[in-house]
Amino acid sequence: MSIGVVIADDQELVRSGFAMILESQPDITVLAEASDGAEAVAAVTEHRPDVVLLDIRMPGMDGIEAAREICARTSSRALMLTTFDQDDYVYDALYAGASGFLLKDVRRDDLVHAVRVVAAGESLLAPTVTRRLISDLTARRPRAAVAPTGLDALTGRERETLVLLGRGLSNAEIATALVLSEHTVKTHVSNVLTKLGLRDRVQAVIAAYESGLISPGSP
């Protein structure tokens, strides 16, 4: 099944370049292009893509605000693109609901891989990168994302799974730690996301820290 994509960037050459790369793939279809955040929201609302590539800096509504609106209103997953790599952009993108973050000088193969990963419901960030980013993020920002009542909905095993997600472990690593099959771990991860209303593993990592289940710097 083809992965539908919307590309939003205020530079036409950038948009067309990304579109050409993605359209060359047999499993990816570019449904629309947009030059600012408002156009991106409209295009996503109309076409319902699996993934929307969003430039962070655009005139009018920027990519962060567009991601916030898109992630709140649709099931499309946001993959952020920027020429900047300052931490605050990464933090703001994650809080807006983005599932991935790439610099615009990304290699062709890495761009294609990122779209496929995000479309499959995974976060783009590697576990070690996620752990480092979110640990720093939650040390700087107040905890309020997940209410205690939300955590009460989790079983004991699901809570353990959330803790290990927060530490940046992959499904295989969680399976080893809990002496479970990867299939069972996938079920626990899915249940955690569903019960806490989370979109993906990145948000699960944030939730683990902000709920107080683990603290920044914990092993």
A 10 A CB-CB count for 10 gives: 18
Phi, psi of 8 (to 5 degrees): -125, 115
pTM for the whole structure: 0.68
Q: How would you write the pLDDT of the chain (219 residues) with one tens digit per residue? A: 799 999 999 999 999 999 999 999 999 999 999 999 999 999 999 999 999 999 998 989 999 999 999 999 999 999 988 876 666 677 788 778 888 888 888 889 989 988 998 888 777 664 545 555 665 665 665 555 445 457 888 999 999 999 998 877 778 889 999 999 989 999 999 999 999 988 777 778 778 877 878 765 555
Whole-Å CA distances, 219 to 37, 64, 116, 216: 39, 31, 31, 9
